[in-house]
Chains A and B, each alone.
Chain A
Amino acid sequence: MSITKHIHHQGHIDDLIARRPALEKFKHSTIREHSNFKWRNTRTNTLSWQAVVSFFGKSGYGKSSTVNAFLGEPILKTSDVSACTNRCDCLDFKITDDYFLSFADYPGIGESEYKDKEYIEMYKNFLASSNIVVYVLRADMRDYAIDEHAFQTVFPRDEDKRKVVFSVNCCDKIEPVSRKESGIPSTDQMINIENKIKTLQGFFKPHNPIIPYSAQTAWNLDALAEAIVKVAEKGNDITFPSYGRI
């Protein structure tokens, strides 16, 4: 079936690497030539291969903010109060003329049961063409009933679950909250963050390590970038050059 992404930004991978050095590995990578990763730009009518990093999660958990934080520019619209994403929105970064790294932002679930069915179906459709899925959770929330359902529905097979990196956003907002912009969580917050991760490990039993970060302060965003690269390395679809000692 045909699926559509809306491109909001087209930059060069170097711009991204300048901000997140961990993503440099993508520069020398190649993607498996499979129809799932082949996209047609309807405006220029050109074909390209795309390594897609998808951001799934609940509404208001900071998916758009996270994508924006990677580039450091507020390209995707975010709202403080109501939901604003209603489709898949992308930021594309050129690696070669016909190979792109794409960050895809999706509508958030959990706003209403009616919409959830539609969105979960959409996640499933996009899963096949996603190489890495970042499932965004929040440090200062603990209602997982909807995430539990979505996780099991969207990723039924073990090989699907391997694509997923659970990330915990809003670590700057975990108790005890400090309003000083330090950028790094306090010692007390770190303890709570660790507890949170332990709880989530038990709950979702993920294949990859859970990454705490904050899109707002950009804290630990590099760790998330590294985790994305690691998942890509573990998968079969993207090949990274390996360096052996001579």
Chain B
Amino acid sequence: MKNLSFSEKTEAQIFSKLEEKGVQISDELKKSIQRRIQEISDYVPKVGVFGKTGVGKSSLCNALFGQDICSISDVQACTRNLQEVLLTIGDAGQGIKLLDLPGVGEDRKRDDEYDALYKKILPELDLIFWVFKGDDRANASDEDFYNRLIRPYIDAEKPFLAVINQVDKIEPFREWNEAENAPGIKQIKNIKAKCSHVANFLRLPVAQVIPVSANERYGLMELVDAIVHALPNDQKAIVLHNIETADDIRKKAAAKAADAARKEAEEANRQAVEAHKKAMAAAEGKRKELEEIARKAEERRKKAEEVAEEERKRARRIQEQQVISRESRRESECSTRSSVWDYVEKIPVIGGVVRFFRSFW
């Protein structure tokens, strides 16, 4: 039962500190948080607070803690190293641990350093916060870090909350109702729009986007409620080894660019080859055409020759026929002569002599 009593004490501290600061907490919310925290009292959840510089990560940690523990500045970036805040300190020195991280987007050199730090710290966390500033929409730095480092962990089911801080500064910021510590009517509309914009930007359900104001201590209990409900019952270790550093990304980008250039060159080359082939094909076509013409001419010539040959043959045939007829005449003459001798041969004795002489002839 020691754990249980510790849990109660933890909550008591969160509630009392915030109530001291004038935050009104409904009983319903208190009960909801109490019930939940009893379920997860087996470990000290670590919550990493990420975001761009100047969005109020440290202020948020201080507001949740109930007193200034993280150094903050109105002008300069002041969180250079990791700051740890134990949200509520129980007897065993336990509670929810907030890790206040240095913010990105200040300048490029620091971003590279923080990149390495984030990469190191991410596997240890049980819950990730990404803090936005309500009246800022220049989120290219957030986008880069989120997509590269955080998103893979969300996809691996690490609990994540997007926190929109400084919603009291959302225009029209003078409409903030200070008496009731609540946004004005137009502000409520703009806060809603901002939440859905951020949800869309992060590709997350809008329920995971929580609007707060650390300075005005607005929405803090809702945030605590969201934290305890987002945390898993049992600590889950999610370690991703394939998270890339900025350097890797740059190298990859360079490699990609080189690859693209190479592909482009290849493509150009291919096109050149194709064009050459086309030219060749065209030349070939032309050549074939010419050949065809030549062939046809040849054919015509052959035909003409054939015709000529035919003519010649016909002429020869006529000539031959004349020769044949002459020869046949002569032959017929010959045959008349031989038939006389044939007749003579038939005469007895003389015919034998004639036959004898004819055989020599």
Query: Which residues of A are at the interface with B, using a C-beta cutoff of 8 A?
Result: 58-61, 80-83, 108-113, 116, 140-146, 148-149, 173-177, 179-181, 192, 195-196, 199, 203
Contacts and interface: CB of A to CB of B under 8 A. Distances in A.
A149 B105 contact: no
A145 to B, nearest CB: 5
B106 A113 contact: no
B54 A141 contact: yes
Contact of B176 (A60, A113, A143, A179): A179
Contacts of A111: 137-140
Q: Which of B137, B172, B193 has the most CB atoms of chain A within a 10 A radius of its CB?
A: B137
Could you tell me the dominant secondary structure of chain A's interface residues? Answer: loop
Contacts of B178: 179
Q: Which of B111, B138, B193 has the most CB atoms of chain A within a 10 A radius of its CB?
A: B138
A113 B140 contact: yes
Contact of A113 (B133, B143, B173, B197): B143
B74 interface: yes
A112 B143 contact: yes
B48 to A, nearest CB: 19
A140 B169 contact: yes
Given A196-B75, A199-B75, A143 B173 contact: no
A143 B106 contact: yes
**For chain B, which range describes its interface: under 10, 10 to 19, 20 to 34, or 35 or more residues?**
35 or more
Q: Enumerate the 8 nearest inter-chain pairs by beta-carbon distance, A residue then B residue, closest first.
A: A110-B138, A143-B105, A60-B137, A175-B74, A142-B54, A80-B171, A58-B138, A195-B75
A145 B105 contact: yes
A225 B100 CA distance: 41
Q: Which of B53, B135, B197 has the most CB atoms of chain A within a 10 A radius of its CB?
A: B135
Given A141-B54, A177-B173, A80 B190 contact: yes
A61 B144 CA distance: 20
Nearest to B59: A175
B76 interface: yes
Contacts of B49: none
Given A112-B140, A192-B74, A81 B190 contact: yes
Contacts of B103: 143
B154 to A, nearest CB: 19
Given A143-B52, A192-B74, A61 B138 contact: yes
B53 to A, nearest CB: 5
A108 B137 CA distance: 10
A110 B133 CA distance: 14
Interface in B146-187: 169-174, 176, 178
Given A112-B143, A143-B103, 7 more contacts: A111-B137, A142-B53, A142-B54, A143-B106, A148-B108, A177-B215, A180-B174
A12 to B, nearest CB: 31
Nearest to A149: B108
Contacts of A144: 105-107
B138 A146 contact: yes
B107 A145 contact: yes
B138 A59 contact: yes
B141 A82 contact: no
Q: Which of A58, A143, A174 has the most CB atoms of chain B within a 10 A radius of its CB?
A: A143
Interface in B188-238: 190, 193-194, 197, 215
Contact of B77 (A142, A174, A177): A142
B220 to A, nearest CB: 18
8 contacts: A58-B138, A110-B138, A143-B106, A173-B135, A179-B174, A179-B176, A181-B174, A195-B75
A178 B38 CA distance: 41
B136 interface: yes
A148 B76 CA distance: 16
A174 B221 CA distance: 26
Contact of B107 (A60, A83, A140, A148): A148
A154 to B, nearest CB: 16
B137 A59 contact: yes
A148 B144 CA distance: 16
Interface in B28-75: 52-54, 74-75
B108 A116 contact: no
Nearest to B103: A143
Contact of A81 (B104, B137, B143): B137
Nearest to A60: B137
Contacts of A81: 137, 170, 190, 193-194, 197
